[in-house]
Amino acid sequence: MSAAMVFGLCAAVAVGLGLYGVITNPQPLRKILAFNLLGSGVFLLFGVIARRGAAAGFGGDPIPQALVITGIVVAFSATALAIALLLRLFQATGSATLRADAPPGAGSDPSRP
Amino acid sequence: MTFASMSFALALEIVLAAVVLTGAVWTVASRETLPAVAGFVAYGLLLSLVWVRLGAPDVALTEAAIGSGLTGALLVGAAARLRSGEEQIVMERPGMVLRVLATMLSTTVAAALAASVLLLPDPAPTLAPAAAENAVATSLGNPVTNVLMAFRAMDTMLEKIVLLLALIGVWSLTPDRFWGGRPGPRHHADPQGVLAFVARVLPPVGIIVGIYILWTSADHPGGAFQGGTILAAMWLLVMMAGLADTPPVSERRPRLLLLAGPMVFLIVGLGGLAFGDAFLAYPMAYAKLLILTIEFAMILTIAVTLGLLVAGPPERECGS
Amino acid sequence: MTEFLTAALGFILAILAVGLVRILRGPGDADRMMAAQLIGTSGIAALLLLGTVSGVSAAVDVALTLALLAAFTSISFVKKGTSRFEADLPGSTEAG
Amino acid sequence: MSFALDIVTIAAVSAGAFFFLAGTVGLLRFPDTLTRLHALTKADNLGLGLMVLGLLPRTESLRDGIKLICVWVIVLLAGATVSQLIAYAARREGSRQ
């Protein structure tokens, strides 16, 4: 049992938890949170693979590490866009639900004068 | 290293993983949104400890800056705005069947991943020697910067364009009558108060640290994203304290800054096509200079892009 | 020495876990924010210890970044979390 | 010399850990928000400060030492601000009930 192994198992559990949250949580914001959790688990798996490839005097294989850095930035972009969409939905309908048959809420749409 | 200290280190890693997973469980399980967000931020913070332990301080920096810090601020803002609609949704909990199925599916996925972690090939495949061999080409000491800026520079350039596209997507959600206006609410605070004080004292320190993180990335962990994120956070702090307002999205200066990084990257890339072997091929003698030029243009672009992404779409007219 | 610092690190992680439980239980928003602050500070302490234990000197840079971003996040957490107290109205954020 | 520095490290890190413990116990056991806040600031100021002091002899260069102290100063500044904001929010919450 090595350090990489411990964190690899930790990553697998994080992915499972994230997946469960994405499916079962009714609030869209919580789904976004859970999706980020899932993504961070995947990044951690990359980190474990990078750690196992430590060679040539480096603490880990730099290629997976660089991929994770790019991945974190892209995940942030996607999260920002998802949150903007969600807030717009809330503004337009007065509720932040994904149900199609939701009753129209009391929210006011500022685009309508 | 003796056996005793080995197991001591292993115990530490198990404790760390357990605390990380506590944060993760609670992010999913908490009933209210704001504590769930706080849990996620704590999880991100602990994850950067894990990255340090995995020998990846570059990733730890990114996780601390973007993954935990800026994402946290974004989520906190959204959670605070959505609070009034929360009670209604809590009612629509999914049924028993769905929850059992979801549990089975996620357990299966987690188990499969765990099995594949345990069955990873030995010795592990690695590109580290190749990265070390080719480091001469750029004369940079940090292998991750080498990969990001030279070996896989195309990915990094496209990633910047993804950031820009996300911002365009966010802006396109603007209600018609606010188009070209200012993002976010106008914050007011007592100019003599503690928030205004910290927003005057912290940003100079933050700017120095941000530039230092970029400057040190040639040979030590760091980089333009990490530095740019710190700059963005300082800018947002100043706006939150009401010392400055968000710029209208129709203004020319922020738009030029948004484009500066990708444009410099593209010009250098095309220069490689004209004078070198391929797109983004740096001539060996100028490699370090060109990479640093791109990174300095990048840090400004990243700071402005991230700041505006967190600020959201315009929701006021220019004057108000 | 490494053993001692590792033990100290384990202790700080335990403190951090207690902070997590505190956010979970609440009861008030103020308690949750205090717990968040405790998590930030103990996380930074843990990072500094971990850097020394693991021999990663760049951990100090990570700690610097974390200190700045944690400051930013906890300030926005407190400000947004207290928005029901209308913290955005002029002059209402501070006691003055 | 190195023995003396080891003693400094052990003493300061232990004292720092003690203040972290004190702050946490206070956060859990003290009766109201303001006293809990008082306990918490001990962890911020003294806990982390003593940890930094203890780790200073372990740093490899002067630059790392300066950065360590910077970390502490930033946390102090942020902690003081956040405590003020929390205290103010708590006072308003209390006066409204």
Nearest chain B Cα distance for residue D4, angstroms: 23
pLDDT at D96 over 70: no
Number of domains chain B contains:
1
ipTM confidence:
0.88
| Whole-angstrom distance, CA of residue C65 vs CA of residue C76 | 17
Q: Which residues in chain C have Cβ-Cβ distances shorter than 8 Å to B68?
A: 66, 69, 73
pLDDT of B231 higher than 90? yes
Number of domains in chain A: 1
- How far does B110 lie from chain D, in Å, by closest CA? 34
| Nearest chain B CA: its distance from C96 CA (Å) | 6
- Is A98 part of the contact surface with chain B (CB cutoff 8 Å)? no
Contact state of B201 with D77 under an 8 Å Cβ cutoff: yes
Helices (H), chain B: 3-29, 33-53, 57-62, 71-82, 86-90, 96-118, 128-133, 143-146, 153-171, 194-215, 224-240, 252-275, 287-311
**What's the full length of chain B, in residues?**
320
**CATH assignment at residue A9:** 1.10.287.3510
Chains D and C touch, using 3 or more CB pairs below 8 Å: yes
- Per-domain boundaries in chain C: 27-78
Of B54, B71, B109, Cβ closest to residue A16: B109
Could you tell me which residues come within 8 angstroms of residue C14 by beta carbon, excluding any fewer than 6 positions away?
B15
Q: Is A88 on the interface with B (CB under 8 A)?
A: yes
Cα B183 from Cα B52, distance rounded (Å): 36
Q: pLDDT tens digits, residue range B135-148?
A: 777 777 788 877 77
Average pLDDT over residues A49-68: 82
The CA distance from B53 to the nearest CA of chain C, in Å, is 7
Q: Do D89 and C1 touch (CB under 8 A)?
A: no
Q: Across the interface, do B49 and C6 touch by the CB < 8 Å criterion? A: no
A41-55, B116-130, B252-266, B305-319: least confident range? B116-130
Region B227-235: mean pLDDT is 92
- Residues B205, D74: C-beta atoms closer than 8 Å: yes
Taking the Cβ of residue B15 and every Cβ of chain C, the question of whether any pair is shorter than 8 Å is answered with yes
Contact A61, B67 (CB under 8 A): no
pLDDT above 80 for B203 = yes
Torsion of CA B255, B261, B262, B265, to 10 degrees: 150
HEC string of B158-211 equals HHHHHHHHHHHHHHCCCCHHHCCCEECCCCCCCCCCHHHHHHHHHHHHHHHHHH
Domain ranges of chain D: 2-96
Contacts C–D by Cβ distance under 8 A: 144
Q: Is the model's pLDDT at C95 over the cut of 70?
A: no
Cβ separation C34–D16 shorter than 8 A: no
Rounded CA-CA distance B306/A72 in Å is 13
In chain B, what percentage of residues exceed pLDDT 70? 93
B54 touches chain C (CB under 8 A): no
| Res A109: pLDDT | 46
* Cβ neighbours of A96 in B, within 8 Å: 82, 85, 89
Domain range for B254: 141-320
Nearest CA in chain B to D87: B194
**Structural domain boundaries, residue A61:** 3-93
Using one digit for the tens of pLDDT, what is the confidence trace for B100-133?
888 899 999 999 999 988 888 777 777 777 777 7
Q: What is the average pLDDT across A41-46?
A: 94
What are the chain B neighbours of C16 within 8 Å (beta carbons)? 19, 42, 46
Mean pLDDT across the stretch B229-248? 88
- Omega cis (within 30) before B123: yes
Question: pLDDT tens, B11-26?
Answer: 888 989 999 998 899 8
Most confident of A27-41, B152-166, B192-206, D50-64: A27-41
Angle between helices B252-275 and B153-171 (to 10 degrees): 150
In a domain, B265, yes or no: yes
Question: CA-CA-CA-CA torsion for B309, B310, B313, B315, nearest 10 degrees?
Answer: -150
